[in-house]
Amino acid sequence: MKYYVNIFLVLLIIISIFGLQPFRQTIDAEKTLVEDTGVYATEVRRLPDATYLVAVRTSMPEVKADMVRWWFSDFLQTTEQYKTWHPKDHVWMDWENKVPGEIIGASHLVHEYIGEDLSQLRIQFVNSAEFFGFDANDEETFVICARVGLLDENMNIAKMCHVIRDTLNGAEMRSRFWLGHVVKREGNKTTPSLEGLIGNAFLTRLLVLDKQTANDLKHHAEEEMKYLAELLPLLFGSEHME
């Protein structure tokens, strides 16, 4: 009897730390990149490891993937430009390690409202190979991935990825956020820590992460990407007039 009790306790500890599927791949390249255009679901869902998935699909008529690449790598430089992206929610921005014409390696420092709360974030853009195992960019696709962290603490709390694919009448953006991936950082590098071990525990995620926060993020992403879809055709055209 004692043997079975011990086994039960070990299993309970494993589940409390890792969740029901401890080795499940949450960065699902198949759903993000491979599914046919138009079937990508906008949704909020708690995953088996107690993280939250937030997915948003945005139709972008008259936009091409290269326009979104240009927006992030070249155009977006000031708070005023940032506010045009979402006049109500966007408050302030700056860049860290930004090189003109490039985005990987740069960190976007922002103050923005997500729901009723003002979030102060450091969004560090990384190569898409870190998420998918290969560079997912091509001539008709722009993929931008990031580690999302707190601006006033050396702690990352989420991951995100935007996939923009050319379509017959413009482009489609597939945004995907994974909330609850906690890791301590030193500059652009992540490092093992007690905070990360505790923060990524199943029970911690279950207690700390709530559906309202995930819904607020979905609503914010839906609005800001709709603004971007409306802004880009005219803005890109005016900036590239001969």
pLDDT digits (tens, 9 = 90+) for 27-56: 677 777 777 767 789 999 999 999 999 999
Whole-number Å distance between alpha carbons of 126 and 188? 10
Tell me if 17 sits within 8 A of 50, measured CB to CB: no
| CA 197 and chain centroid, separation | 21
Q: Is the pLDDT of residue 138 over 80?
A: yes
| Chain centroid offset of residue 83 CA | 19
Q: Considering the domain 38-239 in this protein, what is its CATH number?
A: 3.30.530.20
Q: What is the pLDDT of residues 185-216, one digit of tens each?
A: 998 999 999 999 999 999 999 999 999 999 99
Q: Which helix (H) or strand (E) holds 179?
A: strand 170-186
Ramachandran sector of residue 67 (left: φ over 0; alpha: ψ -120 to 50; beta: rest): alpha
pTM of the model: 0.89
Confidence grade of residue 65 (pLDDT, cut at 50, 70, 90): very high
- 8: confidence class by pLDDT, cuts 50, 70, 90: very low
Q: Is residue 150 scored above 60 in pLDDT?
A: yes
Which of 97, 114, 91, 204 has its CA nearest to residue 160?
114
Kindly state the average pLDDT of the residues 45-72.
96
Q: Which two tokens stand for residue 90?
A: 């966007």
